[in-house]
Amino acid sequence: MNWVIHATNLNRTFRHGHEQTTALCDVALSIPPASMTVFVGASGSGKSTLLALIGLLDRPDTTSQLRIAGRCALTMSSHDMAEARSELIGFLFQDAKLIERMSVVENVALPLAYRGIDRKTRERRALAWLERVGLASRARLSPCKLSGGERQRAALARAMIAEPKILICDEPTAALDEGRASELNGLLRDVASGGTAVLIATHDPAVIERADQAYLLDRGRLAQVQGGDALRDCGLRNMAAVWSHRQSAGGV
Partner 1 sequence: MTRLRFSTAWVRLSDTLRFALWGLLSRPVRSATVVGSLAAGVAAVVLAVGIIRGYGAAAERAAYGVYARSLVIRENVYSLDRYGPPILSDIPRLQDAVEFVDTILAWRMARVAARSDELSGEVDVFGVYGDHRIETGMEVAEGRDLSYEEAGSANRVCLLGEEAAERFFPGGALGESLSLGGISCEVIGVLEPSQARTSDRFDRAVIAPFTAAARYFQPTEYMAPDEASWMTVVIGPGGDLHDARVAADRTLRRARGVPMSRPTPYSYDDPGAPRRAVERERALLGALLSAIAAVSMLAALIGYSGVLMSSINERSREIATRMAIGARTRQIVRQFFAESLLSGLAGGGLGGLVGIGLCITLARIWDWEVVIDGQIFLIALALGLGSGAVCGLAPAWRVSTAMPWHVLRQ
Q: Examine residue 41 and tell whether it contacts ligand ADP (CB under 6 A).
A: yes
Convert residues 100-129 into a mask of x (bound to partner 1 by CB under 8 A) and - (unbound).
Answer: -xx-------xx-xxxxxxx----------
Q: What are phi and psi of 121, to 5 degrees?
A: -60, -45
Burial of 221 (0-12, 13-18, 19+ CB in 10 A): middle
Calculate the alpha carbon distances from 86 to 12, 56, 116, 165 in Å. Answer: 23, 10, 11, 11
Residue 11 in contact with ligand ADP, rule: CB under 6 A: no
Q: How many residues does the chain have?
A: 252
Q: Which of 82, 128, 136, 252 binds partner 1 (CB under 8 A)?
A: 82
Minimal distance, residue 53 CB to partner 1, in Å: 9
Contact set for partner 1, span 38-57 (CB under 8 A)? 48, 52, 55, 57
Q: Report if residue 44 touches ligand ADP, rule: CB under 6 A.
A: yes
Which of ligand ADP, Mg ion, partner 1, none interacts with 79 (beta carbon under 5 to 8 A by kind)? partner 1
Distance of CA 72 to the CA centre of its chain: 20
Among 29, 36, 40, 46, binds ligand ADP (CB under 6 A): 46
**Cβ 125 to partner 1 shortest distance, Å:** 14
Helix %, strand %, coil % of the chain (to 5):
40, 25, 35
What CA dihedral angle connects 212, 96, 103 and 132, to 10 degrees? 20
Indicate whether 94 belongs to the interface with Mg ion (CB under 5 A): no
Of 45-53, 122-130, 182-190, 202-210, the segment contacting Mg ion by CB under 5 A is 45-53
For ligand ADP, the binding residues in 102-161 under the rule CB under 6 A are none
The yes or no reply on residue 64 touching Mg ion (CB under 5 A) is: no
Number of other CB atoms surrounding residue 90 within 10 Å:
25
Amino acid type, 44:
G
Q: Find the shortest distance in angstroms from Cβ 105 to ligand ADP.
A: 31
Based on CB atoms, which residue is closest to ligand ADP, 14 or 114? 14
b/e map of 46-55 (b: 16 or more CB within 10 Å)? bbbbbbbbbb
Contact positions vs ligand ADP (CB under 6 A): 14, 21, 23, 41, 43-49
